[in-house]
């Protein structure tokens, strides 16, 4: 049974400003199946998705019937109506992450964005995962690699990483090393991952453990997503690698064969969407 519009407590989840005003005007909200028409006459049909707290206030995100997401500018929506309502279970059921005393201890530090996620096939929504239990539910292979704990330091877009975040990240890395962890993984957006890798290489010197930055070029709602493979290989590197320095672990070839490790001071992102976009500069 479809709940009444006024009874949907999460109908504006993540929306504010002009985008929220438009949702209210047409009495649509998050998880509404909608048909929207813009000022150019184009018609868009799909499900309104939630947005993150730091998203801009001008766009409404719709999962189209063809599977792609589109952002509709609030000021260009000329008409919209609700066709139905399909709410996703927007949380991954947590399972206790198995502890194995024989496996290494790895800490995953979150800086923002989605490190791993699972697709809700009924609505097409991507459900983010971060806690050990959520990650185990999304990528159960992690339990075969290491014992994992997670800490979310902050939630920013990678282009907004700056001196404040770099300092907090370096301090957090030092604290984990003092606790005796065997390796550290850092979830990071890909746009400025190489910058953070270079900066941390100078801020955290003579590290006794591997420090591995990971991210994904394509989200988990796409069949070609690189998120799970990058995360698994990043955790494996942190747990088993004997290279104790700052590295980036990202897709290697265009196929799903392997990832590459890049030194933090010599890596560059070469393309906006290729999975195999990261390359070591000066490699022979």
Q: Is 98 part of a structural domain of the chain?
A: no
Choice among 104, 107, 123, 269 that is catalytic = 269
257 and 141 belong to one structural domain: yes
129 and 206 belong to one structural domain: yes
Q: What is the largest CA-CA distance in the chain?
A: 63
Indicate the pLDDT class of residue 106, thresholds 50, 70 and 90: very high
- Flag the least confident range among 109-123, 143-157, 220-234: 109-123
pLDDT value at residue 54: 67
The Cα–Cα gap between 72 and 67 comes to 15
Whether 123 sits among the annotated catalytic residues: the reply is no
Number of domains in the chain: 2
Choice among 190, 221, 226, 259 that is catalytic = 190
Choice among 131, 149, 191, 277 that is catalytic = 191
pLDDT value at residue 33: 95
pLDDT value at residue 282: 83
Other Cβ atoms less than 10 A from the Cβ of 268: the count is 14
- Total count of residues recorded for the chain: 284
Label residues 206-226 b or e (16+ Cβ within 10 Å = b): ebebbbbbbbbbebbbeeebb
- Say yes or no to pLDDT of 272 above 90: no
Question: 197 φ, ψ to 5°?
Answer: -60, -45
- Say yes or no to pLDDT of 76 above 70: yes
Strand, coil or helix: what is 13? coil
- Say yes or no to pLDDT of 34 above 80: yes
66 and 111 belong to one structural domain: no
Last residue within a domain, chosen from 54, 85, 116? 85
10 and 69 belong to one structural domain: yes
Label residues 1-40 b or e (16+ Cβ within 10 Å = b): eeeeeeebeebbbbbeebbbebbeebebbbbbbbebbbee
261 and 174 belong to one structural domain: yes
Torsion sign (Cα): 156, 162, 260, 276: positive
Mean pLDDT, all residues of the chain: 87
Indicate the pLDDT class of residue 196, thresholds 50, 70 and 90: very high
Domain that holds residue 81: 5-85
Choice among 114, 123, 150, 196 that is catalytic = 114
259 and 128 belong to one structural domain: yes
Whether 21 sits among the annotated catalytic residues: the reply is no
248 and 131 belong to one structural domain: yes
Q: What is the mean pLDDT of residues 29-56?
A: 90
Task: CATH number of the domain at 245, please.
Answer: 3.40.50.1170
69 and 111 belong to one structural domain: no
Q: What is the pLDDT of residues 221-233, one digit of tens each?
A: 666 778 788 999 9
Whether 237 sits among the annotated catalytic residues: the reply is no
Whether 190 sits among the annotated catalytic residues: the reply is yes
Indicate the pLDDT class of residue 71, thresholds 50, 70 and 90: very high
Q: Is 95 part of a structural domain of the chain?
A: no
């Amino acid at each position: 049974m479809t709940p009444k519009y006024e009874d949907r407590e999460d109908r504006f989840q993540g929306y504010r400003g002009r985008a929220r005003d438009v949702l209210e005007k047409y009495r649509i909200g998050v998880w509404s199946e909608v048909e929207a028409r813009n000022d150019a006459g184009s018609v868009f049909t799909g499900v309104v998705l939630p947005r993150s707290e730091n998203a801009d206030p001008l766009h409404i995100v719709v999962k189209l019937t063809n599977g792609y997401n589109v952002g509709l500018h609030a000021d260009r929506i000329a008409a919209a109506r609700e066709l139905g309502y399909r709410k996703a279970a927007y949380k991954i059921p947590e399972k206790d992450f198995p502890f194995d005393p024989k496996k290494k201890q790895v800490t995953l530090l979150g800086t923002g964005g989605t490190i791993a996620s699972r697709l809700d096939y009924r609505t097409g929504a991507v459900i983010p995962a971060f806690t050990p239990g959520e990650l185990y539910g999304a990528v159960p292979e992690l339990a075969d690699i290491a014992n994992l704990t997670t800490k979310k330091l902050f939630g920013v877009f990678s282009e907004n990483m700056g001196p404040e975040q770099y300092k907090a990240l370096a301090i957090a890395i030092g604290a984990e090393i003092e606790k005796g962890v065997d390796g550290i993984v850092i979830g990071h957006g890909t746009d400025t991952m190489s910058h953070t890798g270079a900066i941390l290489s100078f801020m955290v010197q003579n590290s006794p453990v591997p420090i591995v930055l990971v991210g994904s070029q394509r989200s988990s709602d796409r069949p070609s997503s690189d998120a799970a493979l990058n995360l698994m290989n990043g955790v494996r590197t942190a747990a088993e690698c004997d290279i104790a320095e700052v590295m980036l672990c990202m897709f290697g070839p265009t196929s799903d064969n392997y990832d590459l490790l890049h030194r933090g001071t010599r890596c560059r992102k070469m393309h906006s969407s290729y999975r195999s976009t990261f390359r070591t500069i000066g490699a022979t």
